[in-house]
Every structure is written in C-alpha cells, then in structure tokens.
C-alpha cells in the first residue's frame, strides 16, 4: 500500500478482475437465496458426503422427501449432478472442502 491505495501486480489483478466479472455475470448468491431453509440443510449434508438414508434420519424425513429436495435444489441452481452440487456448496461457504 502506498499513500493509502492498494496496488496489485498485473497477474493478480487479472485474476481478481476475472473473478469479479464472473460474479457479475453469474450471480450465485441470488440462486442460493431461492432455496428454502430445508433445501439448504439438505444441500449442506449432501455436500458433506452424507447418504440419502443418513440425511433422512438426521432430518427426520423419508428418503423420498430427501430425494425430492435434492431434485428441487438441482433444478433451482441449474446443476445436473451431485459432484457439481458439492462444488457449489463449498464455493458458497455452506460446507468446507
């Protein structure tokens, strides 16, 4: 920092700028805001590697209900598989890598 201003080398500034543009063009938080509290819970547990059976037991739901929640989450987020769902949850801070 010089004179109260922040300076970045060109390599770092390119990465920061690209990430900023990506956030502007692909707002992830809005999609996450569209999930219900229960869907967020299910998403977190899926991302942590829990099975449908484990999630159902932990949340006192049927397996079919957990599957339904997962399908709705994937629809709302435009995600097609559990691996991508897990990556999304980690990126959004719902769970740790």
Q: Tens of pLDDT along 1-52?
A: 457 777 778 887 777 777 667 666 665 556 678 899 999 999 999 999 999 9
Give domain limits for the chain.
27-91
Q: Which residues contact 54 (CB under 8 A, 6 or more apart)?
A: 45
Distance CA 83, CA 27 (A): 20
CATH code that applies to domain 27-91: 1.10.10.10
Model confidence band, residue 91 (pLDDT cutoffs 50, 70, 90)? confident
Within 1-90, strands assigned E span none
Question: What is each CA distance from 83 to 11, 18, 55, 79, 91, in whole angstroms?
Answer: 30, 24, 17, 9, 12
The mean pLDDT of 59-72, rounded to a whole number, is 97
User: pTM of this prediction?
Assistant: 0.67
């Amino acid at each position: 920092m010089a004179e109260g201003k922040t300076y970045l080398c060109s390599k770092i500034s390119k990465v920061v700028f690209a990430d900023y543009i990506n956030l502007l063009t692909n707002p992830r938080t809005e999609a996450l805001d569209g999930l219900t509290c229960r869907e967020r819970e299910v998403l977190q547990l899926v991302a942590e590697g829990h099975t449908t059976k484990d999630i159902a037991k932990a949340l006192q739901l049927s397996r079919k209900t957990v599957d339904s929640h997962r399908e709705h989450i994937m629809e709302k987020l435009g995600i097609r598989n559990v691996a991508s769902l897990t990556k999304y949850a980690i990126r959004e801070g719902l769970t740790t890598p």
